[in-house]
Chains A and B, each alone.
Chain A
């Protein structure tokens, strides 16, 4: 099981770019990296997923270096509504589809 490490919290201001880095030193060859966003009292929502290099969608970008031991979620021009907890997940290589969430990063965006 590839364990992930993220900062506990981050602060930003509206209009800024926010980069949240996740470390996953034990990532396996077949593992994908997935990021989720969670608002209070709601279930997490899928944001983006990648295997290597860079992935971009309408919400965020995901940067993965060649060694894949870390990944960075980039949120361009954040707004107050981006205040949430962000989770980085790496697929379990122990067989099957067991997915374990870490403690996540609490992002707070202010005016």
Chain B
């Protein structure tokens, strides 16, 4: 059963702690993406990777870091430098021309 998995679905952290969000895909897609969505807003691109061991900053990369050591995995670390980390985080991979497949999302709450 192919798709994208994100874990956990809900995540709670204390301010000042780094936290890593998982994203795994078995679709054999080269390109993967991380987006952030705030209530009532659209998606904003954090980072994207077109191939293993390579990634680029999106529009709001400050306070985030990623790695792409394997084709299947693209974890996102929300660092303590991110001033407003509470949000809904979505991971996606791309097959075809701009056809993105999204995971179920992780809702991060930092208090």
**A-to-B contact residues, CB < 8 Å:** 32, 34, 36, 41-46, 49, 85, 87, 89, 91, 96-104
Contact = CB atoms under 8 A, between A and B. Distances in A.
A103 B56 contact: no
12 contacts: A32-B98, A42-B102, A43-B105, A46-B100, A46-B101, A91-B98, A97-B50, A98-B58, A100-B45, A100-B58, A101-B45, A102-B42
Main secondary structure of the interface of B (DSSP, over half): strand
Interface residues of B, number: 28
Contacts of B35: 101
Interface string B96-111: 1111111111010000
Contacts of A49: 96-99
Contacts of B31: 97
B33 A42 contact: no
Given A32-B98, A100-B45, A43 B90 contact: yes
Interface of A is mostly: loop
Interface of B: 31, 33, 35, 41-45, 48, 50, 56, 58-59, 88, 90, 92, 94, 96-105, 107
B103 A91 contact: no
B50 A44 contact: no
Nearest to A96: B50
A20 B25 CA distance: 32
